[in-house]
Amino acid sequence: MKTATAAAAPQQAPAPAPRPGLRERKKQRTRDALLRAALELFITRGYEQTTVDDIARAVGVSQRTFFRYFPGKEEVAFAMQDMVEAHFMTSLRARPADEPPLEALRRAVLDCWDSVREAVASIAPLELYLRMFRTIESTPVLLATHLRRSMEKEEHIAAVLAEREGLDVDADPRPRLVVAAFGGVLRVTGRLWSTGEDLTLEGLRALTVRYLDQVGTALAGSWRTPDPPDRAGAPAGRADA
């Protein structure tokens, strides 16, 4: 029962007073159990085929209790995504201020992919995250929500970029424009990866590098060359410039 571990707040608990509190631990355990059970069910049985009652029953609590821990069924599905996105924002802010915006974005994503494993480890193994990602991409209603969340995130990113460059997001559209274009490419990357057969993190990273490198040439004039022959980690030229 003791098991210590204390805080371990999964989300963003400001933890004003480090009170292990016997009661708190129980809540934390329940939340974790619900989260884990839900993800497991979503991945194996499918999101739509999983009812909230199923999740609650798997943990041994009432449906009402589930809704006291999560605002809705969807939120559980995005719990890990939340962490990774927060992690990305940290990576982005850590970029040196002299990097051009697009380059900063590029590096931040790659850094992020390189350290997702550790970022997610507190909740579940990396594989669970990757599988859930695929589930999201293949479940229409989740995909829709995912896109809206991405859009909101992009707004946030644009703000960071604008600050880096000392611009006003509302006066200069460029931050939002780059982020939107960049986000679009990432979306394609994620989609292609999730429908492919290589479900490893390395595969995703390689695809990201490849597509980010190609977007520059893709935007230019007309395409007459067959398909730029490069594959993996070749640090080829970046977007136009």
Partner DNA sequence: AGGCTAATGTCAGTCGCTGACATGAGACAA
Partner DNA sequence: TTGTCTCATGTCAGCGACTGACATTAGCCT
> Counting Cβ atoms within 10 Å, is residue 208 exposed (0-12), middle (13-18) or buried (19+)?
buried
Residues 1 to 20 in contact with DNA, rule: CB under 7 A? 1-3
Shortest reach from residue 165's CB to its own copies, in Å: 5
Q: Which residues of 35-73 are buried (b: 16+ CB within 10 A; e: fewer)?
A: bbbbbbbbbeeebeebebeebbebbebeeeebeebbeeb
Contact residues for 118 (Cβ-Cβ < 8 A; gap 6+): none
Q: By CB under 7 A, tell whether 171 contacts DNA.
A: no
Q: Would you give the end-to-end CA distance of the chain in angstroms?
A: 60
Nearest to 182 by CA among 87, 70, 106: 106
Choose, by CB under 8 A, the member of 53, 118, 172, 202 that binds its own copies: 172
Q: By CB under 8 A, tell whether 230 contacts its own copies.
A: no
Residues 182 to 201 in contact with DNA, rule: CB under 7 A? none
Q: By CB under 8 A, tell whether 187 contacts its own copies.
A: yes
Residues 111 to 140 in contact with its own copies, rule: CB under 8 A? 140
Q: Which is nearer to its own copies, 57 or 174 (CB)?
A: 174
Q: By CB under 7 A, tell whether 69 contacts DNA.
A: yes
Shortest reach from residue 148's CB to its own copies, in Å: 4
Using an 8 Å Cβ cutoff, are 229 and 168 in contact?
A: no
Shortest reach from residue 29's CB to DNA, in Å: 8
Shortest reach from residue 87's CB to DNA, in Å: 26
What does 90 bind: DNA, its own copies, none (CB cut-off 5 to 8 Å by kind)?
A: none
Residue with tokens 């022959």: 229
